[in-house]
Amino acid sequence: MAVTQYKCPNCGGAIVFDPAKQDLVCEYCNAHFTKNDFDKATAENESYESETVSYVCNNCGAEIITTPTTAATYCCYCHTPVVLAKRLEGAQKPDYVLPFKLTKEQALERFQSFFNSKKMLPPIFKERIVLDKIAGVYYPYWYADSDVGAELSATAKKIRTWTAGNYEYTETKTYDIQRSGTLDIDAVSEPAIKDVDRVNLNYLCPFDDKLFEDFSMTYFSGFMAEKKALEKEDVTQNINTKVKNLAHASLVGTVKQYSTIQDNSFNFDVRSRKWRYALLPVWVLTYSVEGAEYIYAINAQTGKIFGNLPTDMKRIRRLTVLLLIIGAIIGIAFGGVALL
């Protein structure tokens, strides 16, 4: 199978995308290029179909995409070897990419600081050899920019209470509230993979869509990406639910200075919508503890961390025994004093 590699125009060394410099950097001569400079220097037309490959993990089923130059020697989730499956089809090509901002070293520092702050973690979380099993992965998201019409009918009340002499008075005024309007609700996102529990992408949001770049394979150099598994039709219902909630909150936000507000009815319709398909950057770290797998992720733009932490049960048991011994000693000591 023929492969396409990104080579340094100066020395021929391997080129990777550097999040710190936001440039393409040669690992050998340390030359760096902007995307435009690199494209001019190489004078090659990118072909998404010919420059991407799909790797499938036989153990956990994860399916990732990358350039052939990426050292995809293990699965970024379960760390078992992966096999080359096939080249991707053009329909998988994203519209935009959000380049990595956090470097691998910065991500490791954040992970280490996060783990060090947790006192009851298993010792394996302190081991550098495990921390080094970190992977930079682009995740697929659908973004929807919606033009929405919305109508709200509600009942609002103003309640005033005062005291005069020996009596307390309450005045309640009731109002019929009507609100309607056209709203632009942009950048509502939904992951484009089925196994969202693998890394719960909703917890890593938000990403800043204003920093999107037109998709280019050069951003892939040195990273991997999850393959899109859901089309926009598959995520429309979830997107509509989010848009509806945002539209409702926007109209309710215009109803102020009332004691209570009770909805009577709320209607909305999507009049037009623009879809955007983007790959977003995440650092992924996976631990295996006593047969259970724990996955942690960092938003590689904002540094936000998400993951479920296990507890070191051996340490808990030791601490429990120690507390019982201390309690027994204190009990005996106070008991002895009482006998005197």
> What b/e string do you get for 17-54 counting C-beta neighbours within 10 Å, with b at 16 or more?
bbbeeebbbbeeeebbbebeebbeebeeeeebeebbbb
DSSP string, 178-207: EEEEEEEEEEEEEE--S-TTTS-HHHH---
Contact 93, 138 (CB under 8 A): no
**Tokens representing residue 166 in the block:** 């020996």
Summarize pLDDT for 305-337 with one digit per residue, the tens: 887 665 555 555 555 655 666 666 666 666 554
221 or 271, higher pLDDT: 271
Per-residue pLDDT, 2: 34
Summarize pLDDT for 82-125 with one digit per residue, the tens: 655 565 566 678 999 999 999 988 988 887 777 776 666 666 66
Per-residue pLDDT, 123: 65
253 or 79, higher pLDDT: 253
Q: Which of 100, 108, 94 is nearest to 23 (CA)?
A: 100
Whole-Å CA distances, 124 to 75, 108, 131, 150, 285: 19, 15, 9, 53, 13
**Tokens representing residue 298 in the block:** 């960092």
Summarize pLDDT for 153-207 with one digit per residue, the tens: 999 999 999 999 899 999 999 999 999 999 999 999 999 987 655 567 778 888 9
Contact 217, 46 (CB under 8 A): yes
Per-residue pLDDT, 337: 46
The band of 16, judged by pLDDT with boundaries at 50, 70 and 90, is confident
100 or 338, higher pLDDT: 100
Contact 161, 168 (CB under 8 A): yes
Distance CA 219, CA 210 (A): 17
Summarize pLDDT for 114-150 with one digit per residue, the tens: 777 666 666 666 665 556 678 888 889 999 999 999 9
Per-residue pLDDT, 86: 61
The band of 339, judged by pLDDT with boundaries at 50, 70 and 90, is very low
Average pLDDT over residues 289-304: 80
Query: Is a pLDDT exceeding 90 seen at residue 31?
Result: no
Mode of pairing for the β-strands spanning 134-164 and 167-191: antiparallel
What residue segments make up the domains of the chain, in order of their start?
Answer: 46-145+184-243+274-306, 310-340
Per-residue pLDDT, 267: 95
Summarize pLDDT for 239-288 with one digit per residue, the tens: 999 999 999 999 999 988 899 999 999 999 999 999 999 999 999 887 76
Whole-Å CA distances, 21 to 33, 40, 63, 65, 307: 10, 19, 29, 24, 28
Per-residue pLDDT, 340: 40
How much of the chain, in percent, has pLDDT values that exceed 90?
34
Whole-structure pTM value: 0.74
